[in-house]
Amino acid sequence: MKTENMKTVGIIGGSGFIGSHITKRFLEENFKVKVSSTDVSNRSKYGHLLDLKNAENLEIVPLDLREIETIKAFAEGCKTIVHSGTPFQLDVQDPQTELFEPTVKGTENFLEVAHNVAGLEKVIFVASVAAWNTSFPLSPQGYNSNHIFSEKDTPYHNEKDHPYTQAKYFADQAVRKFTDENRDLPFEIVTVSPVMVMGKALSDRQDSTSVGMQHLIKNKIAPNPFIESLFPMDAEFSLVDVRDVAESVFQAAVKTNLHGKNYLIANESYKISDISLMLNNQPPASFAAQTYSHALVKNDLGISFISAKDTLNDL
């Protein structure tokens, strides 16, 4: 298909677990898609994208969020940019260099560039439930266990929480600050904040924390203190299918008048023991709960969520 009149979407992190599904969704709708790569020579990171439908409209472009000039080159010509390129890492040796610099400083660098991209119409940030609650999957301190967290709640941050969730929280705070301070932007900024994302990967990569978490919960393996702590308390996780996250991003990109919104992308909640059962194709022992609201995203973006049972039984 000719690409002269096609809108271009840039997807930072577009070859990762969530990002690959986002890339797939835009290609299906005949967008021209730029996907970032920190190492274009390493085809194993993005080769699976080249087999997607309409992959002739796909371009792999070098990008390092620590370097302003590479962000400028990546963003040039894009009508929409999806930023899903922050690391998901639970086993951390140096939080500052492994998480805070690429996540928070990378977001600030991107915003600095985006402010001056000619013709840019929409920016979508793929954040995290941690933007709303750094204690996830636990409830914030002071909240009743029956409270259903929604976009009406004040984001909760605890400096004792995991460095990953704190990095995502501070990155989102940088986006909110930028939006508040720049009221006359020529483009919309919308954020989607998924809870625990589950589903099939589009690649065979072995470095996905999301896919790794599915394996650990299925087999009840605890490789580090954070994951080990979840099993004795039978922590309850709010879940969402990776395809629903991709659809939310796509709808947020094509719909208008959403500027400044940060949507919780959440479906059912289950205890970790029930998630393990479903990953092993067994029925859960308990009924699903709803700990994070999806009313706003259903209303604004029209998302019909895939059930957790269907997602987990299919893995």
Q: 22 or 144: whose pLDDT is higher?
A: 22
pLDDT digits (tens, 9 = 90+) for 225-234: 888 888 999 9
Domain 8-195+242-266+292-301 has CATH 3.40.50.720: yes
Residue 310 near residue 281 (C-beta atoms within 8 A): no
Kind of pairing between the strands at 32-37 and 8-12? parallel
Domains of the chain by residue range: 8-195+242-266+292-301
Contacts of 197 (CB under 8 A, 6+ apart): 17, 18, 210, 239, 240, 241, 242, 245
Residue 217 near residue 275 (C-beta atoms within 8 A): yes
Residue 82 burial (CB count, 10 A): 31
> Mean pLDDT, to the nearest integer, of 92-100?
82
pTM: 0.94
Q: Calculate ∠ Cα 133-135-139, nearest 5°.
A: 80
Residue 192 near residue 124 (C-beta atoms within 8 A): yes
How far out from the chain centre does Cα 8 lie? 20
Residue 257 burial (CB count, 10 A): 7
pLDDT digits (tens, 9 = 90+) for 193-245: 999 999 999 998 767 778 888 999 999 998 878 888 889 999 999 999 999 99
Give the Å distances, CA to CA, from 155 to 11, 96, 107, 305, 307.
26, 22, 18, 24, 26
Q: 54 or 146: whose pLDDT is higher?
A: 54
Kind of pairing between the strands at 236-241 and 269-271? antiparallel
